[in-house]
Amino acid sequence: MGICESRTVIITGAARGLGRAYALAFASEGANVVVNDIGTSLNGEGRDTSAADGVVAEIIAAGGKAIANYEDITDWDAAKRIVDAAVAAFGDLHVVVNNAGIVRDRMFVSATLEEWDATMHVHLRGHFCLSRHAVDYWRAKQKAGGNPDARIINTSSGAGLQGSIAQAAYSTAKGGIAALTLVQAAELGRYGITANALAPSARTRMTEQAFADKMATADMAFDVMDPANIAPTVVWLGSSDSAEVTGCVFELEGGKIMLEDGWREGPAVDKGAKWEPAEVGAAVDKLLAGRVPPRKVWGTA
């Protein structure tokens, strides 16, 4: 009996890469899986339902339970239909894994408004719409006397945590998702809902394009970049076993699970009076000398 036996999970962007790995892993642990994917290209263009259908076929062939769903997570009404489809098919909903995303890589000086808006739309609005409808369902369940034992699992990124050259929009969106997770965890615990985020490093359409050298590990004894390495932690976060864990961001790569330490107060100096502009430089020099060196932005020397 798996650790997610009879739990129902919606996974967005579940037809390929990490999402597919999550779907297969959840199903192997007994979960009912809603494979949501509209089948777009890496930059968010086009539609193809066959990829989601293929993942569902894999799960069913292995003895699992799954349905395909092709609704657009950025559409408010469509996002509710995803939740409704999960409940109609399996009788309940326990987990939302917000995994879908696009990328429009561009140096900031060349970035366009359309690329910026498209990236924010899919990542931030997409995370909001589906989670918001799921929370409505879980709150109603609790008010009716039930125990939601629910999970929101968001997807941030190393780019969102430390920045990445040529990915200003993507980094900004992923940083916003990390902050959203903290707020969700603080607000939703009273309803039996936890919220955590992932910053996964694995081989996907997105990372093969941006970090080709790092992703080329398939011939190694242990394929560090195999998306399947990320799935066990995601499945555990979706299980009842993780009920006490919320408001965390986990950076995952290969066999490594790392808990992000987050923003916290660093060195400080207090004059106890108003500063003169000419005095500030020396104070800042002192603060910089006493800080923990920050992680470098991805792509810098």
174 is catalytic: yes
Question: Sign of dihedral through CA atoms 258, 219, 210, 98?
Answer: negative
Annotated catalytic residue: which of 131, 170, 201, 242?
Answer: 170
Annotated catalytic residue: which of 22, 131, 141, 157?
Answer: 157
**What span, in angstroms and rounded, lies between the C-alpha atoms of 277 and 47?**
56
**What span, in angstroms and rounded, lies between the C-alpha atoms of 181 and 127?**
10
157 is catalytic: yes
Annotated catalytic residue: which of 137, 164, 174, 242?
Answer: 174
**What span, in angstroms and rounded, lies between the C-alpha atoms of 192 and 244?**
10
Instruction: Residue 86: name the closest of 153, 8, 4 by CA.
Output: 8
**What span, in angstroms and rounded, lies between the C-alpha atoms of 33 and 59?**
9
Q: Which residues contact 225 (CB under 8 A, 6 or more apart)?
A: 201, 202, 203, 207, 214, 215, 217, 218, 253, 254
**What span, in angstroms and rounded, lies between the C-alpha atoms of 67 and 60?**
9
Instruction: Residue 207: name the closest of 192, 185, 187, 227 by CA.
Output: 227
The catalytic site residues sit at 157, 170, 174
